[in-house]
Structures are given as structure tokens and as C-alpha cells.
Amino acid sequence: MSSPALRLEGVTVLGDEGGRLPLADVDWTVASDEHWAVIGPNGAGKSTLLGVAAGAIVPDRGTVTALGESFDGHGLANPALRIGVIESRPRVYAENLTVDEIVYMHRTGPAAVMGSRIPESDREKARNLLARFDCAHLTARLYRTCSQGERQRVMLARAMMREPALLLLDEPSSSLDMIAREAFVAAVGALIRESPGLATVTVAHHLEELPPVLTHAMLLAGGRVQATGPAAEVLNADSLSRAFGAPIEVERAGDRWTARLPAASLG
């Protein structure tokens, strides 16, 4: 039996003295081939949770393992090398870098920056990934000239260069317009369908930002887990209304969710 992609046991992150805990007593297991949404209001602890999952935040209490290893491992034993992270806003890189360089340098690392020869196999892999996410036409373009939506899809190709077993997405479409958001959501959905064994976690403010093919969901509020389980059982009006402290209506059409406040509550 394979190890879970991610396991948190009793994880607590302490805030300022006397303040609210960013995370409190979180138990959570993400199995391989599961695709999670993490939803909650501002200040719920969503980004802190993802930081713990990525190994960027060390909890004050509790244990974290990813891909069967702890984050204190050295070299290839450190699971961070097998985790892909997509941030809420695409990163800024040197002005003279092209899109394909941004992608294949993630596999080669510092050697590429220092001018070492890039294997043709890495260049081809980068081109294939860019094509996979509908970015083949961007290959030779300067990354700085790309739109925000194009940059996020380039970041998705970059993250997949190392063939991660766990992909963490921190509000990846929050800075995109509706058209760019839908293109990105479609790219993530296609990736999930084509990548058996890959586990994903998507943090989002809005249900409309969630990719299709979700299997599970967690609701966070005040640093504590409010609900967790299969997506269809968690992403409902009752659970979301409790987490957000307001009446929320939820609709599902196929594999996409939407949520809104009822008109009467806006009057």
C-alpha cells in the first residue's frame, strides 16, 4: 500500500501572543489520486495550511509527512522536490527570459542559470508541456510580455517539469479575468484526467475557481476544520453557510460549483 500524498496530524501554527491560532489541531490525509478543494473566508488559515503542506511553514505542534517523508530530509529524500506549487500570482522573472526557458530551467535548476548546456530532452519536454496547456505559441516569447492568464498556464507547465506527485494550487486564478480563469481551470482539469496517481490541493475563495474532477473538500474557518470529506458532501449550502457565517446558496452543474448570497440577504 502506497504512502499518502500528504498527512497532517494535530498540526497547530501559533499566531501572535494572545491572538487567534492560524491553524489549530488539523488532522488531514490526502491520498494519491485525490483532488481536494480547501475553502473558507478570509483569515480562515487556507494559505497557512498550504504553506505547511508545501514544507514552507513548520508547525509549532503536530507532524507533517508528504509522499511518505518528513520535510527535514536531505537531498532527494526531501519531499519538497516532488511537490509542485502554483501561487496566487505568477512569479516575475528576469526580463530577458523566454517562456520555454522559464519552464525547462525548473528541471535543470542553477545549472541553467550558470549557462550549462540544457539537454535537448529537457527542451523537448518543456515544449510538450507548453503545448499540453495550450501555450505552444508562447514558446519563444519573452515571459514578461505574457498576460497573467498565460503566465499561470506557463507556471503550470513549469511545475510539471519535475513530474510532481503532489500539486498545490494557492488561489491560482484569483488574479485572472473570467476568460483567463476558465482557460486555467480547463488546463488543470485536463491535467488531472491525464495524470493517474497525481494528488492535488486547490485553495480558493470562490467555488467558481475550483477545477473539475474534484474528489474531496475541506472547509476552514478561524484556523479550524469545519467540515471535510467527499466534495459532494461538503460543498453544500448548510456547510458553507456555517463556515462563512452567512446564508449561501450552492448550485452544481456537472463538475462545476457556484455559490452566491440569496438576493434577500443583499437588501
pLDDT of residue 20: 67
Which of 24-33, 69-78, 168-177 is predicted most confidently? 24-33
Give the pLDDT band (50/70/90) at residue 175. Answer: confident
Residue 1 lies in a domain: no
Q: Which three cell numbers stand for residue 119?
A: 539537454
pLDDT of residue 265: 61
CATH of the domain at 162: 3.40.50.300
CA nearest neighbour of 132 among 101, 152, 153, 108: 153
d(CA 23, CA 51): 11
Q: What is the separation, in whole angstroms, between the first and last Cα of the chain?
A: 54
Helix axes 99-108, 120-132, angle to 10 degrees: 120
pLDDT of residue 114: 45
Give the pLDDT band (50/70/90) at residue 89. Answer: confident
8 pLDDT exceeds 90?
Answer: yes
Residue 193 lies in a domain: yes
pLDDT of residue 112: 47
pLDDT of residue 17: 60
Give the pLDDT band (50/70/90) at residue 74. Answer: low
List the beta strands (DSSP E) in 20-98.
23-30, 35-39, 61-66, 83-86
- Reported as a single tens digit per residue, the pLDDT across 138-165 is 999 999 999 989 999 999 999 999 899 9
More confident residue, 100 or 110: 100
The residue segments making up the domain with residue 13 are 6-266
pTM of the model: 0.90
Residue 53 lies in a domain: yes
Number of compact structural domains in the chain = 1
List the beta strands (DSSP E) in the chain.
6-13, 23-30, 35-39, 61-66, 83-86, 166-170, 199-204, 216-221, 224-230, 249-253, 256-260
